[in-house]
Amino acid sequence: MSEGQAPVSTAAPIRRPEGRLGLRTLILIRWIAVVGQTATILIVHFGFGFALPVLACLSVVALTALSNLMLMFRMPARARLRDKGAALLLGFDMLQLGMLLYLTGGLENPFLILILAPVTVAATILSRGPTLGLTTLAIVLVTLLAFFRTPLPWTDAAVALPFPYDLGVWTALCVASVFIAAYIWSVADEARRMSDALAAAEASLSRAQNVSALGGLAAAAAHELGSPLATIAVVAKELSREVPPDSPFAEDVALLISQSDRCRDILAGLSQRPDMAGHRPLELVRFSALVAQACEVYRDAGVALDIETDPGCAGTEPEAPETSEFMHGVGNLIQNAIQFAAESVELRLFWNETEVRLIVRDDGPGFPASVLASLGEPYISTRSGAEGHMGLGVFIAQTLLEVDGAKLHFANRGGAEVVIRWPRDMFERNVGLRGI
Q: What is residue 254's predicted lDDT score, i.e. its pLDDT? A: 84
Distance from chain centroid for Cα 333:
19
In a structure prediction context, what are the per-residue pLDDT tens digits for the chain, which is 436 residues long? 444 443 334 334 444 444 567 788 888 989 999 999 999 999 988 988 888 899 999 999 999 999 999 988 888 867 888 888 889 999 999 999 999 999 998 888 888 899 999 999 888 888 889 999 999 999 999 999 988 888 877 656 556 667 787 888 889 989 999 998 888 888 887 777 777 666 666 666 666 666 555 555 666 666 667 778 778 888 888 888 888 888 878 888 888 888 888 787 777 765 554 444 444 555 788 999 999 988 988 888 888 899 999 999 998 999 988 887 788 889 889 988 888 888 899 999 999 999 999 999 999 888 888 777 777 676 565 443 333 343 567 877 888 788 778 999 998 888 899 999 999 988 887 544 433 3
β-strand partners of 132 = none
Distance between CA atoms of residues 73 and 7, nearest Å? 47
Q: Which conformational region is residue 375 in: left (phi greater than 0), alpha (psi within -120 to 50 degrees), or beta?
A: beta
Enumerate the domain spans of the chain: 21-203, 204-271, 284-435
Q: What is residue 97's predicted lDDT score, i.e. its pLDDT? A: 93
In 224-343, the DSSP E strands lie at: 284-286, 304-309, 319-321
Q: What is residue 60's predicted lDDT score, i.e. its pLDDT? A: 94
Distance between CA atoms of residues 262 and 200, nearest Å? 41
Distance between CA atoms of residues 109 and 128, nearest Å? 30
What is the crossing angle of helices 324-340 and 393-403, to 10°? 150
| Helix and strand totals (H; E) in the chain | 12, 9
Distance between CA atoms of residues 209 and 321, nearest Å? 13
Q: What is residue 389's predicted lDDT score, i.e. its pLDDT? A: 41
pTM of the model: 0.50
Identical fold between 204-271 and 284-435: no
| Cα end-to-end distance, the chain, whole Å | 40
β-strand partners of 350 = 357
Q: What is residue 204's predicted lDDT score, i.e. its pLDDT? A: 62
Class of domain 204-271: mainly alpha
Q: What is residue 3's predicted lDDT score, i.e. its pLDDT? A: 42
Would you say 135 and 94 are in contact if contact means Cβ atoms under 8 Å apart?
no
CA distances from 147 to 108, 144, 246, 330 (A): 11, 5, 112, 64
Task: Check the CA dihedral 179-185-188-193 and report its sign.
Answer: negative
Residues present in the chain in total: 436
The number of CA neighbours under 13 Å toward the Cβ of 412 is: 13
Among 3.30.565.10, 2.40.170.20, 3.40.50.300, 3.40.630.10, what is the CATH number of 284-435?
3.30.565.10
